[in-house]
Structures are given as C-alpha cells and as structure tokens.
Structure 1
Amino acid sequence: MNKPQKFDIAVIGAGIAGLVCAQELQQMGYSVVVLEKSRGVGGRMATRRVSGSRADHGVRYLEPRGKFWQQLIDNQKIKKNNIDTKPIIQLWTDKTYELIHPQELLLPTTKNCYIAPQGMNSVGKFLAEGLDIWFSRRVQTIQQLAEKNWYLTLEITNDAATEKPTEVMAKAVVLAIPAPQALAILEKPIAEIQPEFLEHLRLVEYDPCITVMAGYSQALQENLPEWRAIAFSNDEYLDWVGLDSSKRQDASQPVFVIQSSAKFATTHLESPDLPPIGKKILEHTAQKLLPWLRDPEWLQVHRWRYAFCRQALAVSCLTTEIPLPLVGVGDWCGGDNIESAFTSGLSAAHWLRRKAEGKK
C-alpha cells in the first residue's frame, strides 16, 4: 500500500468554488491538492459533447451581478490558454423571455447573459490550469491524526485512474461540494467533527433538476425561433428552455437544452430509466413551443440532484477549527449562484491564510 501524500491543504471538489480556492491558496505559496470524484472540472459549469455538437447541460449562462464578474467581463481577463486574444466569456444575448402560465403570455426581459462559446466547462478548465487535481477520487472518510493532520481515504471511481495514492494527509480541508455530500462524509463516526458545523450543513436545501439535451436535423436551421432562452412560470414540467446551438458560431445542427421544474424532477429523480422521462419533457416542450421539437435526431438526459440551492447559509464560507481547520464553500454559502461560489472560494482561502498566520 502506498504511503499517503502530504499537503498543506486538500480541496474536495473541482467545481468553481473549489478551483478558485485552490488557485488562491497555491498563489499564496501553499501546497494544494484537489480531489475530484469525476473525470472533469467545473462542476455544474458542465458541457457535454454529443454527435459533434456541444450542449451546456448545467449552468445556463452568467450574469454580471457583482463587482467580480463585471470586472472579469469588462477587462476580458479570461483568455483561452492565456494566449488566445479571443475571450472565453462573451455576451450571448441581452434579452430573455418568460412564458407565464396559464395565460401563455411570452414576456421579454432585458438581461445581459454571458456564455462561453467553447462550452461553459471551458471556464473551469481555465481555472484548473496549474493545479494538482486527482480525478476519479471520491473521498470516503476523513479523520484527525495525532500529528495535527487530517487523514483522508479515497475511493477510485474509474478503474483506469490508478496513478495516484488512495490516502492523503493535509493540515486543512476545504469541502467544495454540495452540503449533503459533505454531510455524507462528515457524519461518519470516524470524522468527529464539531456538531455545530454539521448542524449548519443540515440547514442547506437544494432543488433537483432533470436536463434534456436534444439535437435536430440541420435542415431545421431555417425554422429556428428568434428567441434564445425562455423561462417558465408555474409550469408543472418546465423551468427553462434554451437554444444552446446559438452559443456556437460553428454549430453543425440545432441543439436545445431543456431544464425541468423542481417539482417534476423531484417526482422522477430516482427513476432508473431516464430517456423516457426526457421524452416526456420534450413532448411537453413541443406542445408549448415548437411541434417539431418532439422528433430529435439524438436525445440525452442528465439528472442534477443538487441543481439549485434553495436555502443557502448567510456566510461566505462555513468554518471551524475544531478539531482542525475545516471550511465549507460553494454557492450554498452567501447566495445561490456562480458568483457566490467564486466569492466563497476566495473567502475560504483568505480565512485559511489568516489561521495559518495565527490571526483572527
């Protein structure tokens, strides 16, 4: 058995909050490892490649609500590979629509929506540059060791990923995963975490979502609607529909991304067979918007168990030093959006630095 590798800080989760936190800590001079259960980065900033097309099946778009995002967009600070002059983030549309049920009124809303033409996951890939990320590693247990280190055991989630050890030691741990997933690790008897920390995690609530990605014949390009995105109000099935291919200059076919309502997703969340559920959503969408949507060339369905944070904590990051430094970060801290995740990751990094320097 390999000996555990030692780091200053272990970050669990390679979503936006985890990547921002890890980058900030690494720039401060700490040794950092990021432990990610999947094979990619970005979390809900997710993009899937299907039949030569791309589909953003997680975060729909970005809104510059606060100082950080607005500065990022205005200065075009995110560049592909730090070399290409074309920015990763671009304006997609300045107008979205809302379909009001049951009146069936389509109301326009002025809103600047930014996207990544190469896929929303390209933002995560940029933020991951230079980090030591162990993919296909799910944290199983976490416990305190006598020498003032956390000891983490890891499960390999991909048989091909055997190049890293399955044990890690770190002076501090950052939980950059949804609160229920953090609880699943910390509530094990071996953890011995401060009860108040666990109680705060239990306060966080999420809504699920089922996302449908559908691609259509190239011949339908001439029949595409003028709208880019429609939100649905009080619809039993739907929450949002986007013409995802309008994000790509090189789109080879029309691609739509459809996200279900929380109520519909809750009802069907445990279904073992998702394609029929996706077809049901698509049929309803066709009835509401475009009849030909019911006949795609391809269809894929994704289940998001923790899609939207319904009840967030009123702190930028959740912290404890008992028994050792432990921080929770994500959009469930201080808000319910991607910008909250950025802010949370930064706040955690600065909290850990203050504790390392013996400051309050």
Structure 2
Amino acid sequence: MAPDSSPVTVIGAGIAGLACARVLRDAGRDVQVLDRGRAPGGRLSSRTVRGRPVDLGASYLTAGEGSPFAAVVADWVARGLARPWTDTFAVAGPGGLRDRKSGPMRYGTPGGSRSLATDLASGLPVRSGTTVREVTAGPAVDGRAVPAAVLAMPGPQAARLLDPAGPAGRLAAAETWQPALAVVLGWTGRRWPADLHGAFVHDDPAVEWIADDGDRRGDGAPVLVAHTTAALAAAHLEDPAGAVPAVVSAVRSALGIDAEPGWTDVHRWTFARPAAPREEPFGLADGIGLCGDGWHAPAKVEGAWSSGTALGRALTR
C-alpha cells in the first residue's frame, strides 16, 4: 500500500502522542494512534487502588500564563476534569518538615490524571493493547508504509523500535532516563498536617516527593503517594515491593506520622523522567518524529503537550 493511502501513525497514547494526533486530525490528516497499554494515559497514569483512582505518574499540572496549554487547562477546569489544587508545597527532610515553598498554581484531577488522556483521545482512532515491533526507514511501521511515524515515548523505548544507525535511532539513543517507584500509602485517617498538600523531600536516600492524593483529587482520602529517588528505584526494579519499607520509614520521618500505614501498593516506572530534557520541541528525521517530555524542557506535562503539538504542526506542513 502506498504511503499516502495510509494514516500517519502515532505510537504512544500519552499526552504528547494524543496532542500530536489531535493537531493532525484537526488539519484534516488521516491519523491512527497505537498504544500497548490497556487505555490511553502513558505517564498520566491513574490506577484504581482500594476502590478509588490514585495518580501514580505525573503529580500535577502547571500552565504558563498566556501559553496555549493554559487554555487547555482552563477548559478542563471548566468541565470539571481538573481543579486548582495549591501553589504551596512543604520542604521536608529526614528530620521532618522544614519550610514552605510557593510557586505556580498546580492543578489536580478529581477523576485521576488518566481522565485527561481519555479526554484528549476523544474522537481519535486509538488502538490500545497494540505492540509495535519496529519502525523502519520509508517510513514503515511493522512493514506497513506510512506517510509519517511518530514515536511519543521515552527515548530508550523508541530506540528499541528504530535502526540504531539511522538518524531517528541516534536521536532516541542519545536520551538518558531515570527510574522511579510510586508507592501508595493508605491510613484509616489523616495523620499529617492539615495544611500539607505535598512535600519535596531533600537529603533522603529513599524519597524525593510526597503528594497527598486525597487533597489533590479533592475527596479527602487519607492516601499519600511517594516517588522514590532514582537510586532506590534502580536497586529495586526487579523487586519493587522490596523498596516499600524504606519508603514508609522515610515518609513517616519527613511528615511526622506516628503510625504505620494500613496498606501499601507500588508501581514501577523504568523510565520515569529524562535526566536532561532537550531544549528542542521535537525530533524529526526522514518522516520519523520523536516527541514527549524528553523534549521541550522542562520535563512537565505542559512540555509533553507542547512537544506533541509542535510536532503535529510540523508534520501538517
């Protein structure tokens, strides 16, 4: 089949891939989205734990004032998919809470962050549970010629699909990513300060960030999500549960919690965040595009959306 009779193929249904696909569709281009997961989301990941959605990936959204993404977030807020959460987080360490740190408004998601990906995927032809094995020059996806292929995923994952000697393969291989574990901790009641929304944890070998999941979602559930350091995650990629005791100890010490959690859960992110996000918005070589939060620094949800949007516009040209 000739390339111009096949759809542009976007591989990866995270926010970057979906943003790219929406630009292409809105420009009248035939597009399909392939994703190996059970549902769109990528690192906008929510999973039902103990009967409620828990955000395991991106902890919140921010939107630069006057940026195109700000309009997207405002629409989500207007439709109840996102909510203003807080502009202030605590700073903690092994010895407990130290200070408060203010910044831009962070937005949470009442239905879990995956609900935003579901919204972006509305109207798009998304095939979940689909594993792509290779993207080759031409370009072609698993031997099928396409007018363009987009790999919206971390560079190390994209590199597995590409010819390492090709320009797109070299771009993907140049990215270095760090792992993390997301550990969910639940109590029967809240045991941390009432005004604590989340905490950056400094100088701790186990934990870097703690989010009050009930606070950011607005249902008040006594549930925290802690993201580990890259070093702890790397040591436990084959045994994520083995890291939980160290995380529980670090969280209790940082927030002054006087009791063990009633339950825990853990999720592994082999590729959680880029070590050095690129300044360029995307990569494009020989009809193969690369986008996501490894591009368009800093590596945030807004950056991933902007990366996919910019690549989609480039492909329409």
What's the TM-score once normalised by structure 1's chain length?
A: 0.80
Aligned to 1:124: 117
Aligned mates of 1:171, 1:299 — CA distance in 2: 46
> Which one of 91, 97, 102 corresponds to residue 98 of structure 1?
91
Name the SS of the counterpart of 2:58 in structure 1. Answer: coil
Inter-partner Cα distance in structure 2 for 1:330 and 1:105: 34
Residue-by-residue CA offset, 1:192-251 (whole Å, 9 max, x unaligned): x63x4333222211121111012221xx24766420100011211110111101133445
2:172 pairs with 1:201: yes
> Per-residue deviation at 1:150?
3.5
Which amino acid in 2 is paired with 1:173?
Answer: A
Aligned match of 1:161: none
CA shift for structure 1 position 328: 0.4
Matched, 1:258 2:258: no
Aligned ranges 1:219-234 → 2 under 5 Å: 220-221=189-190, 225-234=194-203
For 1:351 and 1:242, the matched residues in 2 are separated by 36
Give the 5 Å matches for 1:145-156.
150-153=139-142
Which residue of the other structure, out of 328, 333, 337, is the alignment partner of 2:290? Answer: 328
Distance 1:140 1:223, change over 3 A: closer
Match of 1:295 among 248, 261, 265: 261
Aligned positions of 1:111-260 closer than 5 A? 111=103, 112-144=105-137, 150-153=139-142, 168-187=144-163, 194=166, 196-217=167-188, 220-221=189-190, 225-251=194-220, 253-260=221-228
Inter-CA distance 94–309: structure 2 relative to 1 (3 Å threshold): same
Deviations 1:44-81 (A, max 9, x none): 111111121221111011122351233334xx3226xx
Q: 1:346 aligns with which of 302, 309, 317?
A: 309
Say which SS state the counterpart of residue 75 (structure 2) adopts.
coil
CA contact (8 A) 1:9 1:170 kept: yes
Spell out, residue by residue over 1:134-162, the C-alpha distance to the aligned partner (whole angstroms, 9 max, x if none): 11111112234xxxx54323xxxxxxxxx
Aligned with 1:107 (options 96, 99, 104): 99
Query: Identity of paired residues, percent?
Result: 26
2:26 aligned partner, one-letter code: Q
Number of equivalenced pairs: 311
Answer yes or no: is the 8 Å Cα contact 1:15–1:42 preserved in 2: yes
| Distance in 2 (alpha carbons) for counterparts of 1:64 and 1:151 | 35
Give 4+ residue runs of structure 1 displaced > 6 Å after superposition.
none
Q: Deviations over 1:168-212 (max 9, x none)?
A: 542110010110011011037xxxx63x43332222111211110
Distance 1:293 1:10, change over 3 A: farther
Q: Structure 1 pair 12/172, CA: closer, same or farther in 2 (3 Å)?
A: same
Q: Quick one: distance in 1 between partners of 2:310 and 2:304?
A: 10
Residue 99 of structure 1 and its aligned partner are, at CA, apart by 1.6
Tell me the equivalent position of 1:82.
Answer: none
Mapped to 2, the partners of 1:213 and 1:151 lie a distance apart of 40
Gaps (5+ residues) in structure 2?
none
8 A Cα contact 1:203 1:311, kept in partner: no
Q: Is the 8 A contact 1:285 1:293 kept in 2?
A: no
User: CA offset at residue 94 of structure 1?
Assistant: 2.1
* 2-structure distance, mates of 1:32, 1:40: 18
For structure 1, list consecutive stretches of 5 or more residues without a partner in the other structure: 80-84, 154-166, 355-360
> TM-score normalised to the size of structure 2?
0.90
Which digits, 9 at most, give the CA deviation of each residue in 1:313-343, with x for residues without a partner? 231110112xxx1110111112111111111
Partners of 2:276 and 2:190 in 1: CA distance: 40
Q: What secondary structure does 2:76 align onto? A: coil
Higher relative contact order (CA 8 A, sep 6+): 2
Query: Residue 283 of structure 1 contacts residue 293 of structure 1 at CA under 8 Å; is this kept in 2?
Result: no
**3-state SS, counterpart of residue 301 of structure 1:** strand
Is the 8 Å Cα contact of residues 282 and 293 (structure 1) preserved in structure 2? no
